[in-house]
Amino acid sequence: MKQYLYILCFATIALLWGSCDKNETPVFDTSYSAINIWFGTESSVLDSVTYNYSYTLEKDSVMFLCRVVGLPVDYDRTFVLEAYDGDIDEAAGSYTLGSYTIPAGESEAEYPIYFDTSKLTDNQSFTQNDGHLYFRVQANELFATGADNMSTLKVVLRNYLAQPEEWYTQIPPYLTYQRYFGEYSKTKYQFMIQTLGLVDFHIAMTASVPYDEETNTISSSYASYLADRMKEALIEYNATHEKPLTDEETGEEVVF
């Protein structure tokens, strides 16, 4: 009887041992690397970002983040983005995708996708309806596809610019743009946005700080300073381009 129990116990242990050996998987595969890409912050993923060609005369960018899922390595790793869907033909030539390198020992980085308004084939593109571009990492031997919500990038494309209501009209407590920046033109406003990074801001005589980010309001003294900055920027632009900055609609030179 004892001998039978010993045999039964040994068989049970062997069976359990074999079962564990078959089903057991590594806790972490050290050879596995994937790459997550997204717009937003380190802790927040955005569905998309918007790029408005009208906010710049020439070149600007949107930034995306990437993070390697896996262990750091002691060599540089490179990946390339590709546009795989959306208004690819209409936007062709107006955006640039580079080769992005994650340095040895690193696992996170931030990179730009460049857009250039002057390279749009048709300057009326995306003026009536929003366009879209979808980007993903080209397949390579270094990285697998990232998580579902971090495997693609969506950029909404726009190309329209509205004249600020306060350019000519004084709406208390705000002052007019004309008082500091002169006559309106789309080209002038584009140049201002590109230089100052401000869109649809307010100018308040009673503002207590030069710029209030929460209300997008600047003081009158700061507006005077920005007007001087624009004059300097215009001189630099005209000196570095074949022809002076000119309003496309009227053909007249832009002045501040």
pLDDT tens, N- to C-terminus, the chain (256 residues): 444 434 444 444 444 445 545 555 455 455 678 889 999 998 889 999 999 999 999 999 999 999 988 888 888 989 999 999 999 999 999 999 988 999 999 989 999 999 999 999 999 999 999 999 999 998 788 777 767 778 899 999 999 999 999 999 999 999 999 999 999 999 999 999 999 999 999 999 999 999 999 999 999 999 999 999 999 999 999 999 999 999 988 899 999 9
Looking at 126, 158, 190, the residue that finishes a domain is 158
Looking at 133, 158, 183, the residue that finishes a domain is 158
Let me know whether 133 and 56 are in one domain: yes
- What's the pLDDT at 14? 46
- Domain extent, residue 179, equals 161-256
Cβ atoms 102, 77 nearer than 8 A: yes
Residue 60 resides in a domain: yes
Let me know whether 143 and 44 are in one domain: yes
Residue 254 resides in a domain: yes
- What's the pLDDT at 82? 94
Let me know whether 148 and 205 are in one domain: no
Let me know whether 147 and 169 are in one domain: no
Buried b (16+ CB within 10 A) or exposed e, 197-232: eeeebbbbeebeeeeeeeeebbbeebbeebbeebee
Let me know whether 211 and 232 are in one domain: yes
- What's the pLDDT at 24? 53
Residue 115 resides in a domain: yes
| CATH number reported for the structural domain that contains residue 85 in this entry | 2.60.40.1740
- What's the pLDDT at 246? 96
Let me know whether 142 and 166 are in one domain: no
Looking at 158, 174, 196, the residue that finishes a domain is 158
Residue 50 resides in a domain: yes
Residue 11 resides in a domain: no
Let me know whether 194 and 153 are in one domain: no
Residue 183 resides in a domain: yes
Let me know whether 165 and 148 are in one domain: no
Q: Which of 217, 189, 192, 193 is nearest to 205 (CA)?
A: 217
Let me know whether 146 and 203 are in one domain: no
Let me know whether 154 and 127 are in one domain: yes
Interior CA angle at 51 toward 159 and 160, to 5°?
A: 20
Residue 24 resides in a domain: no
Let me know whether 188 and 229 are in one domain: yes
Q: How many domains is the chain built from?
A: 2
Let me know whether 150 and 214 are in one domain: no
Q: What does the H/E/C string look like for the chain?
A: CHHHHHHHHHHHHHHHHHHHHHHCCCCCCCCCCEEEEEEECCCCEECCEEEEHHHCCCEEEEEEEEEEECCCCCCCEEEEEEEEEECHHHHCCCEECCEEEECCCCCEEEEEEEEEHHHCCCCCCCCCCCEEEEEEECCCCCCEECCHHHCEEEEEEECCCCCCCCCCCCCCCEECCHHHHCCCCHHHHHHHHHHHCCCCCEEECCCCCCEECCCCEEEHHHHHHHHHHHHHHHHHHHHHCCCCCECCCCCCECCC
Stated pTM of the model: 0.76
